[in-house]
Amino acid sequence: MKRRNLLQVALALVGAALLSGHSPYRQWSALRAKHWLIVAARDDAEASRLAGAAAALLAARLPESQAMAVEAENDREVVQLLRTRQLELAMMSIDAANDALQGSGALLREGSVPLRTVAPFGPHLLVALDDYATDKAARIAAALAGFRWRDGSAPTRRSGPQSKVPLHAGATRFKQALESKTGQ
């Protein structure tokens, strides 16, 4: 008799949990809807640091963005989050972004991803998919233009591979507007 009651209680608890509608996916969707999230690979410390700094700057300059940085385990997971449209912005090394765009290197098994550069950060790029909203990308490019670390230094580009990731249409729009203002 006790065994039967225990089984009924256990089944009732499982049923209540399932029917309550609490799932991490809903919370993740709500977080993504409210915040502009920038993902970076945890195993690329510089990308994670840049993502955090860029998110803080975006949140300060575009308060409606409520920008935040989040981490994935590695570049493969970052690419998967972009490909499946779970996240829209990523901070990636130029090497990783080139590999993702071409479906080569360490990301060969993932296949190519149509990435575009929203803003360069020395040896890293803030990227989005090619169909990311042009207006939003232009606002992000404008807000992050002239990025500097707290000590006043800028991320510096070391020698290495050049980016093959073309500019996003929004970044191009910002660049053209800036050039028309400055005449350069």
What pLDDT is recorded for position 23?
47
Q: Is residue 150 part of a domain?
A: yes
What pLDDT is recorded for position 3?
59
Q: Is residue 16 part of a domain?
A: no
| Total of domains in the chain | 1
Q: Is residue 1 part of a domain?
A: no
Q: Is residue 58 part of a domain?
A: yes
Q: Cα 34 to chain center, whole Å? A: 14
Q: Which two tokens stand for residue 81?
A: 């989050």
- Say how many C-beta atoms besides its own lie within 10 A of residue 115's C-beta: 27
User: E-assigned strands of 19-114?
Assistant: 37-41, 68-72, 89-93
Look at residue 167 and tell me whether its pLDDT is greater than 70.
Answer: yes
> For residue 147, what pLDDT band results from cuts at 50, 70 and 90?
confident
* Secondary structure tally for the chain: helices H, strands E: 7, 5
Q: Is residue 81 part of a domain?
A: yes
Comparing 109 with 18, the larger pLDDT belongs to 109
48 phi/psi in degrees, rounded to 5? -65, -45
The CATH number of residue 89's host domain is 3.40.190.10
Tens of pLDDT, residue by residue over 19-28, are 445 445 566 5
* Mean pLDDT of all residues belonging to the chain: 83
Query: CA separation (Å) from 66 to 28, 49, 171?
Result: 15, 18, 20
In sequence order, the 6+-apart residues with CB closer than 8 A to the CB of 158 are 122, 123
What pLDDT is recorded for position 63?
94
The pTM for the full model equals 0.79
User: E-assigned strands of the chain?
Assistant: 37-41, 68-72, 89-93, 115-121, 124-129
Q: Is residue 160 part of a domain?
A: yes
Look at residue 8 and tell me whether its pLDDT is greater than 70.
Answer: no
Closest to 114 measured CA to CA, from 129, 93, 97, 99:
129
Residues 172 and 91: their CA atoms lie apart, in Å, by 18
Tens of pLDDT, residue by residue over 60-118, are 999 999 999 999 999 999 999 999 999 999 999 999 999 999 988 776 676 789 999 99
Q: Which domain holds residue 29?
A: 25-182
Q: Is residue 95 part of a domain?
A: yes
Q: Is residue 48 part of a domain?
A: yes
